[in-house]
């Protein structure tokens, strides 16, 4: 298939291979029929050439001596972080299967796998990180548990908790939902509303998780308590024991934030994923009385800390560039769209739908 300058691409052209950013994130997928908006994206990301399928152009390729796409150009190159994410997800899936069968938790293997993943955390941006396509979208529990481990680690680090706690907090994030292995899958993945008895059973995953982890070697008490308390809220409105304030372990308070964020930004059987920026706003609005305010404040500030020049997609489909961010309103920066400034503080009907990883 021919490679042509991106400026020559036309509406309706079919992509012969994925268009990727400099770091290998997929910008536009193979087989996509280009729209006017897609052409804007190509221009915004300064994509020099595209591999397309256009009737008539392929036949003329030999005569025009257009450069062929290099071998493997259509393959998605995974980052080291994404590769370790896949390894950790496979290990966790196997672990859940072992535990559900009554086997012992492989703590050392989990720690080693988690350590390999966390070694690449400098490359992790929780808003723009792309979960590898090889992770089955139906395996929400596995995917979100690994994401919670990564994000909980960051929250602990950002809030300057002792470094000795970072790995344990990541482990707490990884295993916080392990009690779900004891829940009937028909209930766990039910797409319609749960009955009162089914809801009670699902909420019991916190107790089941605590019992599975309690007393485990190489896991401190905070990891066990996180499995029990990650749905507790500081005003006593959570479950399973409705404990309040300081009775909730700090690990559980951190994992609760990560768990809520990733649950709301992921596709589920019963709902579509929400915009990361809208979720951050919801966390901010709901933090008072529910979540640890300082942890939430730091989380939002650091999660939205981008260098100027980062490209974003607004909810109306337009592609723009962040040019100014107000520290007091980090989820509503100013965005330049074709030279026109869109002030998201003033235009409240607009919000950032997607952030593109460009560096």
Beta bridge partners of 341: 336
Query: Considering the entire predicted model, what is its pTM?
Result: 0.80
- In the block, which residue shows the tokens 């916080």? 176
**What is the CATH class of 80-303?**
mainly alpha
Q: CA 26 to CA 5: how far, in whole Å?
A: 18
What does pLDDT average to over the chain? Answer: 86
In 3-state terms, the chain is what percent helix, strand and coil (to 5)? 45, 10, 45
The pLDDT score that the predictor gives to residue 75 is 46
Q: Quote the pLDDT of residue 22.
A: 58
Hey, what are 350's tokens? 């607009």
**341 membership: H or E segment, kind and range:** strand 340-343
Whether the per-residue pLDDT at 334 is higher than 60: the answer is: yes
CATH assignment of 3-62? Answer: 3.90.105.10
322: which strand partners?
335
**If you average pLDDT over residues 227-250, what whole number do you get?**
96
Of 289, 310, 320, 309, nearest in space to 356 by CA: 310
For the stretch 200-218, pLDDT in tens is 999 999 999 999 999 877 8
């Amino acid at each position: 298939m021919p490679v042509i300058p991106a400026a020559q691409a036309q509406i309706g052209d079919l992509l012969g291979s994925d268009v990727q950013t400099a770091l290998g994130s997929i910008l536009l997928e193979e087989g996509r029929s280009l729209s006017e908006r897609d052409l804007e994206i190509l221009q915004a990301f300064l994509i020099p050439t595209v591999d397309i399928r256009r009737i008539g152009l392929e036949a003329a390729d030999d005569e025009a001596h257009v450069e062929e796409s290099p071998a493997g150009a259509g393959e998605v190159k995974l980052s080291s972080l994404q590769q370790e994410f896949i390894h950790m997800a496979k290990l966790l899936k196997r672990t859940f299967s072992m535990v559900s069968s009554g086997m012992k938790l492989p703590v050392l293997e989990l720690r080693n796998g988690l350590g390999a993943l966390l070694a690449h955390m400098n490359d992790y941006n929780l808003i723009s990180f792309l979960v590898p396509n090889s992770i089955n979208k139906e395996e929400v529990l596995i995917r979100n548990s690994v994401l919670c481990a990564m994000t909980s680690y960051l929250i602990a680090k950002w809030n300057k908790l002792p470094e000795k706690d970072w790995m344990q907090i990541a482990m707490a994030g990884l295993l916080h939902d392990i009690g779900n292995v004891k829940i009937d899958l028909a209930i766990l993945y039910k797409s319609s509303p749960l009955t009162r008895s089914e809801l009670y059973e699902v909420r019991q995953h916190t107790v089941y998780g605590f019992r599975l982890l309690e007393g485990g070697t190489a896991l401190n008490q905070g990891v066990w308590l996180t499995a029990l308390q990650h749905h507790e809220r500081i005003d006593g409105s959570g479950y399973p024991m409705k404990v309040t304030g300081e009775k909730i372990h700090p690990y559980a308070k951190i994992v609760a934030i990560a768990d809520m964020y990733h649950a709301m930004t992921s596709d589920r059987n019963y709902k579509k994923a929400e915009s990361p920026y809208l979720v951050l706003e919801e966390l901010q609005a709901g933090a008072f009385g529910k979540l640890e305010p300082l942890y939430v404040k730091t989380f939002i500030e650091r999660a939205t800390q981008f260098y100027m020049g980062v490209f974003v997609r607004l909810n109306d489909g337009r592609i723009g560039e962040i040019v100014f961010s107000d520290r007091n309103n980090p989820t509503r920066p100013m965005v330049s769209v074709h030279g026109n400034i869109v002030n998201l503080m003033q235009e409240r009907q607009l919000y950032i739908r997607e952030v593109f990883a460009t560096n």
